[in-house]
Amino acid sequence: MKQLKETAQKIKSMEIRGAGRIARAAAAELRDYADRLKTDDLNEFNEKMQFAAELLVSTRPTAVSLPNAVRAVMRYKGESANEARVNILRLADEFITGSENAVLRIGEIGARRVRDGYTIMTHCNSAAAISIMATAYAQGKEIRVIATESRPRWQGHLTIQHLDKIGIKTFLIVDSAVRYFMKEVDLVIMGADAVTVNGSVINKIGSSQLALAAHEARRNVIIAAETYKFSPKTLLGELVEIEERDSSEVISREKLDEFSNISVRNPAFDVTPREYIDLICTEVGAIPPEMAYIIIKDYLGWGIEEMNSNMRI
Rounded Cα distance, 57 and 49, in Å: 12
Rounded Cα distance, 87 and 35, in Å: 11
Which residue type sits at 43? N
The catalytic residue among 40, 41, 124, 164 is: 124
Whole-number minimum distance, CB 143 to ligand RI2, in Å? 18
| Options 135, 203, 208, 272; binder of ligand RI2; rule CB under 6 A | 203
For position 268 contacting ligand RI2 by CB under 6 A, the verdict is yes
Of 171-179, 191-199, 259-267, 271-279, which segment contacts ligand RI2 by CB under 6 A? 191-199
Q: Between 155 and 282, name the residue whose CB sits nearer to ligand RI2.
A: 155
Of 128, 221, 119, nearest to 173 by C-alpha is 119
For position 124 contacting ligand RI2 by CB under 6 A, the verdict is yes
The β-bridge relationship of strands 220-224 and 144-148 is unpaired
Rounded Cα distance, 129 and 289, in Å: 16
Q: Name 244's Cβ contacts closer than 8 Å, sequence gap at least 6.
A: 265, 266, 267, 268
Of 33-41, 185-193, 257-265, 291-299, which segment contacts ligand RI2 by CB under 6 A? 185-193
For position 204 contacting ligand RI2 by CB under 6 A, the verdict is yes
Dihedral sign, Cα of residue 204, residue 194, residue 198, residue 111? positive
Whole-number minimum distance, CB 149 to ligand RI2, in Å? 13
Is 124 part of the annotated catalytic residue set?
Answer: yes
Is 164 part of the annotated catalytic residue set?
Answer: no
Q: Which residues are catalytic?
A: 124, 193
List residues near ligand RI2 by CB under 6 A: 17-20, 124, 126-128, 155, 191-193, 203-204, 268
